[in-house]
Amino acid sequence: MILIAVGNTHTLVARRAEGPHWEKERFSSTLPPPQVRAQLPQHWHEYWQEEPAYIAGVVPQQVAAWKQELAMLQLPSWDPERFHQLLPNHYSPPQSLGFDRRCCLLGAQRMISGGSALVIDAGTAITIDCLHQDHFLGGQILPGLRSQLRALRQDTALLPDLEGSFPSHGWLGNGTEEAIFAGVWHGTLGALGSAISHFQKHYPGGRILLTGGDAPTLAAALPAAEVQPDLLLDGFFQLVRAGSSSEKD
């Protein structure tokens, strides 16, 4: 099985055969699908010919481009709305819950077996979602680290365009660039720390799962969190399996 998960910044192309491990490659979501396929290792050519491919994501134009690129291959139908049967919730409207959040929640649900989890997906946006006893309780959305940097550049006249690395070395910066990095870094940690504190107060013993492109950057500052790099893929796999079953029923 091949899964193609299109994010705002990166696209994951992954294959799962037997067992829980993924063979995966990551590309910029701005790359056209033919270029992505051309850059995959040579042995992927056989995978495309032999295995079904499932495509989903949060960038409709790129999802459509992938479907057009792979139209001659195996593209089985499946029901992504099956999520709301697998994980009861009150999200409104239901279809507005992003594909990436659905997948991460399903991946977490499988890990915690009826317990509690705070799922932090740190990417272009940072999402913080709460799961308790197989129910999705709701969440928060805030800009990701680099989204905050871009917003400051785009919405101000004089602040610079920054591409440096986090974390900041201190909570105060002696210079505009240092001050921006400090503000974005510590502001993000403050938001995450507040969410974690609330979660631990209401669900002591629950697990905090950290995933997404910036998870390795944030992990050292969030010692209570477990980094789970394949949470989205694991949930995508579960959603496909459940959605494919519903198509057969």
Active site residue 214: no
Q: CA 139 to CA 112: how far, in whole Å?
A: 18
Q: Residue 226 in contact with residue 134, Cβ under 8 Å?
A: no
DSSP-derived pairing of the beta strands 116-122 and 207-211: parallel
> Vertex 49, ends 80 and 229: CA angle to 5°?
50
The partner residues of 28 in beta bridges, in order of sequence, read 10
Options 100, 121, 129, 230, the catalytic residue? 100
CA distances from 33 to 53, 77, 78, 93 (A): 13, 20, 21, 31
Residue 49's Cβ-count burial label (10 Å; 0-12, 13-18, 19+) is exposed
The partner residues of 122 in beta bridges, in order of sequence, read 126
Catalogue the active-site residues. Answer: 100
